[in-house]
Amino acid sequence: MRSFTYEKVASPAAAATAIASTSDAKFIAGGTNLLDLMKLEIETPAHLIDLNGLGFDRIERTSEGGLRIGALVRNTALAADEKVRRDYGLLSRALLAGASGQLRNKATTAGNLLQRTRCPYFYDTNLPCNKRSPGSGCAAIGGVTRSLAVIGSSDACIATHPSDMAVAMRALDAVVEALRPDGQTRTIPIADFHRLPGDTPHIETALEPGELITAVTLPKPVGGTHIYRKVRDRASYAFALVSVAAVVQRDGSGKVAVGGVAHKPWRVEGAEKALANGARAFVSGLLADAKPTKDNAFKLTLVERAVASVLAEVKG
Amino acid sequence: MSNTGDPHISRRNLLIVAGASVAAGAAPGSARAQKPLPMGPAASEPVTTKVGMIVNGASRSMEFDTRTTLLDALREHMHLTGTKKGCDHGQCGACTVIVDGQRINSCLTLAVMHEGSSVTTIEGLGTPGNLHPMQAAFIKHDGFQCGYCTPGQICSAVAVLDEIKAGQPSHVSGSLMGAIDLNEAELRERMSGNICRCGAYSNIVEAITEVAGRPA
Ligand SMILES: Cc1cc2nc3c(=O)[nH]c(=O)nc-3n(C[C@H](O)[C@H](O)[C@H](O)COP(=O)(O)OP(=O)(O)OC[C@H]3O[C@@H](n4cnc5c(N)ncnc54)[C@H](O)[C@@H]3O)c2cc1C
Ligand code: SF4
Ligand code: FES
Ligand code: FES
């Protein structure tokens, strides 16, 4: 690991000032992704700004009847929160399907959204990777691509976003609250938060350099049946091959996002009209522009079957 | 720009001091807030800072390189070698310790982030003459072979029973709102962050089941 200086900030203003005044600085929250990558020297910040003194650890009702989740709320606390379990079961289920008990005790809401890809070539610093070193090429294309994207990818990068929580948040229409280094606050709908790789796979979200996530809000509960179906190589403590986050209403309408297929949680609102006609009809719209590789074409079938099993479970 | 110039180093010390005092709740804000300075390229010399924490009930205060993980702090600096390093990347659970009541992977957190924390390691749970009930149960049920994963397994298991008591659901819980049935599937899921290369899993589940107060 490269050497770095460290400071712990006590207010969002201090965090914004710290990040604006230091080049090569990074925020650290739970540290479970950043430190992993720093050990491999994939991330090499010269300065760490520890956010754990900020508070931001509350889950509160919003005036619209939704929920405001502080950026530093741990994944364990979020999954176990009674309001979340009751009204946003999908979110609890997605969190509980991710990582391990130990990791969820540290992992934060913001850190989870910002965790980096699990593309195996991204982790191998001997190989080219446009995400790790922009312009170097992509070792994954033409390589072993079983775990990689089937849709929304580019000639520069075919990585997926690994978060389970983010897929549930996409189906729940979450909104990210952020604070710019200049002190301005803004909100970013989750649909626009994660980006497709395009020519700049190293730019993964709509956040500007140094922008701090302060909270994630959820709109008021929509009812329905909440199901998170994660398909992986082992039953626990593994990333998704594909996952389905669904909120389905009695009349068959619903909101469905899919993980493990793209550089961001994948949802096509226009395709959801077809949900009542079954999994095949829906998925043919959802993944209409898919460009799988030979290795990962199985994901298309897997998504369809996972959606079918979710719809069957809803019917009971 | 060189990393060895004096201004750079003194600024670095300033930051560390500012960080430590904020962590201790003494001074709000930071020195850098008043006088922003551009940072040079990645720091190349080690940066050290003093950290105080409570480990197994005793106060410890030591100087650490900022890069020192809590795991290395425990093993290499405090010589508490009960906690094991398996993967060093959050993938095996051998380094599991209990910090402020919660089990975590000590390999994926920094010592400097634990100013004021209370840490319990396997050495703090029980001693050979006075075993923790979970340690005794692992022995009784042969919950290990080589023993390398065992300290992590036991710290994890102790915390798991508290998590169940607190009503935290798991991935395999049938209902998110109902009571948690402490069955084998629940324990296996909750313990999945602790890998055992020797495959002692079924005996580990029996040991935990006994401590939980159910016939194994
Ligand atoms: C072995 C293993 C298995 C895992 N399995 C899964 C899995 O199955 N599913 C899953 O979803 N995840 C999984 N994870 C990933 C885990 O969920 C993430 O590591 C975790 O959520 C990251 O959160 P953190 O708070 O620790 O982030 P950190 O490591 O602290 O930070 C991550 C990034 O976010 C930035 N950041 C943090 N907070 C803020 C903020 N408030 N504002 C702006 N930037 C911020 C940091 O600068 C950093 O770039 C796994 C991880 C490991 C090690
Ligand atoms: S797919 Fe993306 S992350 Fe993986 S090697 Fe290519 S550029 Fe890097
Ligand atoms: S050594 Fe920490 S999880 Fe493996
Ligand atoms: S007892 Fe050998 S690894 Fe678990």
Chain B positions touching A46 (Cβ under 8 A) are 39-43
Contacts of A100 in chain B (CB under 8 A): 90, 93, 192-194
Rounded distance, CA A177 to CA A221, Å? 19
Beta carbon of B144 within 6 Å of any ligand 4 atom: yes
pLDDT in tens, A49-90: 999 999 999 999 999 999 999 999 999 999 999 999 999 999
Within a domain: residue B18? no
Is the same domain home to B112 and B132?
no
- B149 and B99 housed in the same domain: no
* pTM of the predicted model over 0.95: no
What radius of gyration, in Å, describes the C-alpha atoms of chain A?
19
Sheet holding A25-28, edge to edge: A5-8, A47-50, A25-28
Quick one: B102 and B136 in the same domain? Answer: no
Print the SS3 string covering A298-309. HHHHHHHHHHHH
- Phi, psi of A251, deg, nearest 5: -80, 5
Number of domains in chain B: 2
Here the CATH number for the domain that contains residue B100 is 3.10.20.30
**Chain B 116-155, CB below 8 Å of chain A: which residues?**
none
B35, part of any domain: no
**Confidence tier at B14 by pLDDT (50, 70, 90):** very low
User: For residue B3, what pLDDT band results from cuts at 50, 70 and 90?
Assistant: very low
For residue B4, the tally of other CB atoms under 10 A from its CB is 9
Tell me the three state secondary structure of residue A240: coil
What contacts B110, CB < 8 A, 6 or more positions away? A6, A28, A31, A35, B66, B67, B68, B69, B70
Contacts of B112 in chain A (CB under 8 A): 6, 50
- What spacing in Å lies between the alpha carbon of B41 and ligand 4's midpoint? 43
> Which of B83, B108, B123 delimits the end of a domain?
B123
Task: Describe the strand order of the beta sheet including A254-259 as a list of residue ranges.
Answer: A225-231, A242-248, A254-259
User: Which atom number of ligand 1 is nearest to the Cα of residue A32?
Assistant: 26
Looking at the fold, whether B111 and B76 belong to one and the same domain comes out as yes
Same-domain pairing of B101 and B146? no
With a pLDDT cut of 70, the percent of chain A lying above it is 100
Whether residue B173 lies inside any domain: the answer is yes
Instruction: Classify residue B143: in a domain, yes or no.
Output: yes
Number of residues written out for chain B: 216
Residue B156: give the domain boundaries. 126-216
Say yes or no: B167 contacts chain A, CB-CB below 8 A: yes
Q: Which value does ipTM take for this structure?
A: 0.97
Q: Within a 10 A sphere around the Cβ of A209, how many other Cβ atoms?
A: 11
Q: Please indicate, yes or no, if residue B86 is contained in any of the structural domains.
A: yes
Domain boundary among B100, B123, B146: B123
Q: Which two tokens stand for residue A48?
A: 């760490």
CA–CA separation, A270 and A263 (whole Å): 20
Residue B54 lies in a domain: yes
Tell me, yes or no, if A36 comes closer than 8 A to chain B by beta carbon: yes
Work out whether the CA dihedral B84, B88, B94, B96 comes out positive or negative: positive
Could you report the per-residue pLDDT of A16-36, keeping only the tens digit for each?
999 999 889 999 999 999 999
Whether residues B119 and B148 fall in one domain: no
Residues B207 and B134 in one domain: yes
Residue nearest to atom 4 of ligand 4 (CA): B196
Domain closes at, from B79, B99, B123: B123
Angstroms from B84 CA to nearest CA on chain A: 15
